[in-house]
Amino acid sequence: QAEPNAEVRGQLAATARRLPADVCLPIVAALANHAEDVDDRHQPLMVWWALESKVDSDREQVLALFKESELWNQPLIKTAILERLMRRYATAGSRTDLISCARLFELAPDDISKKTLMAGFENSFKGRSLAGLPEVLVKALADAGGGSTTLQMRLGNPRAIQIALDAIKSPGKNQAQLVEYIQVLGELQEPQALPALQKLLSTTKVPDIQTGLLVA
């Protein structure tokens, strides 16, 4: 934990990947304490790769690591690990992986950590169906704030769908957000959106919005 030499810390991270979890994970936790490595070109990824080597084979030990609230406070964990870990499990997408996503949300000690995890989850599920998510994950997402309006739409939240419909009926300056709403409504095949989408198509002159409407 007190290793002062950056090169040695890099070697430790590389070696940890090849070691059993009960040796690797304490090394990961110790290396995460070095806030000075956050801006290093290589070390944050080296630490991530060491942790990633155990996320499937030693899942319970990896998740147990995050029961320590102090770990969440480490800058390297916040900036280089949390979002990647969530994306790793969410992208894999098996029921076991999705339950691991839920457990990470449940373990997160503060709103900032939950927001980081949510970003990883949303990035992983862009363009993917949310059908069949385990109930424990749906609850964890809701308890963590529900994520963006588009994620809430895809989870079937009526209020989020209404927000999108209102935005389409009265388009503002946030064109990128409007395109996202259009895309998600297209994914959902939301019948009540059809009149508003058709009206917008007949009036908008913005190419990105026109394209989004045609695809939807």
- For 176-204, the DSSP string reads HHHHHHHHHHHHHT-GGGHHHHHHHHHH-
Higher pLDDT, 5 or 71: 71
- Taking the C-alpha atoms of residue 199 and residue 169, their distance in angstroms, rounded to an integer, is 8
pLDDT at 173: 67
pLDDT at 2: 67
Q: What's the rounded mean pLDDT across residues 10-36?
A: 96
pLDDT at 6: 85
Higher pLDDT, 9 or 175: 9
pLDDT at 33: 94
Per-residue pLDDT of 43-58, as tens digits, reads 999 999 999 999 999 9
pTM value surpassing 0.85: no
Q: Nearest CA to 180 among 212, 158, 210, 203?
A: 212
Q: What's the rounded mean pLDDT across residues 164-192?
A: 81
The structure tokens 């979002």 sit at: 83
pLDDT at 171: 77
Sorted by where each begins, the domain ranges of the chain are: 1-147, 148-216
Per-residue pLDDT of 75-125, as tens digits, reads 999 999 999 999 999 999 999 999 999 999 999 999 999 999 999 999 998
pLDDT at 132: 83
Confidence grade of residue 39 (pLDDT, cut at 50, 70, 90) = very high
Q: How far apart, in Å, are the Cα atoms of 104 and each of 51, 61, 83, 137, 145?
A: 15, 13, 11, 10, 14
pLDDT of 170 over the 90 cut: no
